[in-house]
Structure 1
Amino acid sequence: MSNKKKSTTTGKSKARSLFIFFILLLAIAACAIAAWTMYEMKNMQARLLSDDTPPEVIEVVEPVAPVYVPLDTFTVSLKPGGEEFDRVLYIGLTLRVSNEEDKIKIEKYLPEVRSRLLMLFSGRSAEELSVNEGKSQLIQDIKQILNMPLDEKPGVTVTDVLFNAFILR
């Protein structure tokens, strides 16, 4: 009976000593990794400080504030389509342009810009404008029309067209 107790206690003590050995091995490995990391960080710092060339200065480009040109609302009779003859579009627009020069140009040639837009809107039907694809196509057409030359000068660069009001009646 005493032999059985000895063998079980020695088995437990061997497992315990193996466990302690692995824990010590893990601790030594962690210390070695930490020492290597510190060594490499100091070497990197020394290399950065010993370089004769100054570090590159990265130029920070500030985001350009958008330039908006609000237009008065338009009320336009639409092209008759099908059985409907008296459809009206009430639309409010704001144009986002690329720079202040384009904003000034739109304001200077505002009657011509409004005339071009009125002609564009009146050529559309209610069926075209009632779906999202028609509205997207309208935005593309507005950009294209305003990009055309204004009085012997290049047109404006419209980056986006924003709807403030869009009512079909």
Structure 2
Amino acid sequence: MAEEEERELTEEEQAAVERKAKRKRWLLLGLLAILLVAISVGTTVGLLHMLGAEEATPVAGEEAPVEEVEPEPERAIYYPLKEKFVINYNVRGRQRFLQAEVNLMFRDNDVAKAIERHMPRIRNDLIMLFSGQEFEDLQTPEGRELLRQDAVRQVRQILEEETGEPGVEQVLFTSFVMQ
């Protein structure tokens, strides 16, 4: 019986030794994984730092690249022409009307003063332009776009003649009603 107890103790001790060995293996594998991750991160950070330093320092004989900073474009200013344009058309013996609200878009405040100063001529020329159109043409999107482009040219031409600069970028229809 004494021998059997010794064998049982030996088997229990052996099981305990095996458990400790497994724990050590898992602990070593975990530490090894952590070490590999730390080495990988350190290498990556080091390489990025070195590459960043190389880009920042110019090579001997080379000038450092100069970054061109584009000036921020001025914000658009919208100037509504106060009164709506009302144009009448005679289409196949029937009276037809166009009512349009027009805004001018520009980026320089000085242009607003020039527009106000020359408003009678601008309104006159736009009325003449609108009334010279064919009513059927204005019913299509293409016809309205062509009219808008003609209006831009007309307003630019007036401002160019009077101030020396075209000033206006766009003529925008904010309302365009045809009856």
The TM-score, its normalising length taken from structure 1, stands at 0.67
Unaligned runs of 5+ in 2: 1-28
Considering fraction of residues, name the structure with more helix: 2
Match status 1:160 vs 2:167: no
Q: Which residue of 2 aligns with 1:74?
A: 85
The one of 127, 131, 138 aligned to 1:129: 138
Residue matched to 1:43 = 50
CA–CA distance in 1 between the matches of 2:55 and 2:38?
26
Look up the SS of the partner of 2:44 in the other structure: helix
1:121 Cα offset (Å): 0.7
Answer whether contact 2:114 2:163 (CA < 8 A) is retained: no
| Structure 1: unaligned runs, 5 residues or longer | 1-22
Provide the secondary structure at the position in 1 that maps to 2:98. Answer: strand
- Which of the two has higher C-alpha Rg? 2
Name the CA shift for 1:38/1:153 in 2 (closer, same or farther; >3 Å).
closer
Q: Is the partner of 2:75 in helix, strand or coil? A: coil
Distance of 1:40 and 1:84 partners within structure 2: 83
Alignment of 1:78-89 (within 5 A): 78=89, 80-81=90-91, 83-89=92-98
Q: How many residues align?
A: 144
Q: Distance in 1 between matches of 2:118 and 2:150?
A: 18
Q: Paired residue for 1:100?
A: 109
Cα offsets for 1:108-140 (capped at 9, x unmatched): 100000000000011112211111001100110
Contact persistence 2:104–2:170 (CA under 8 A):
yes
Q: Measure how far apart 1:45 and its partner are.
A: 5.5
**Residue 54 of structure 2 is aligned to residue 65 of structure 1:** no
In structure 2, how many angstroms separate the alpha carbons of the residues matched to 1:144 and 1:50?
A: 51
Structure 1 position 68, deviation (Å): 1.3
- Corresponding position of 1:144: 153
Instruction: Provide the C-alpha distance between the structure 2 equivalents of 1:64 and 1:73, rounded to a whole number of angstroms.
Output: 28
Contact (CA 8 Å) 2:57, 2:64: kept in 1 or not? Answer: no
SS of the counterpart of 1:157? coil
In 2 relative to 1, CA 97–84 (structure 1 residues): closer, same or farther, beyond 3 Å? farther
Q: Provide Cα deviations, 1:72-123, integer angstroms capped at 9, x if missing partner.
A: 2111113x34x24411111111110232222211111000000000000111
Aligned residues of 2:148 and 2:173 also touching (Cα < 8 A):
no
Indicate how the Cα distance of structure 1 residues 48 and 122 shifts in structure 2: closer, same or farther if over 3 A, else same. closer
Q: CA deviation at 1:29?
A: 7.4
What one-letter code is carried by the residue in structure 2 that aligns with 1:74? F
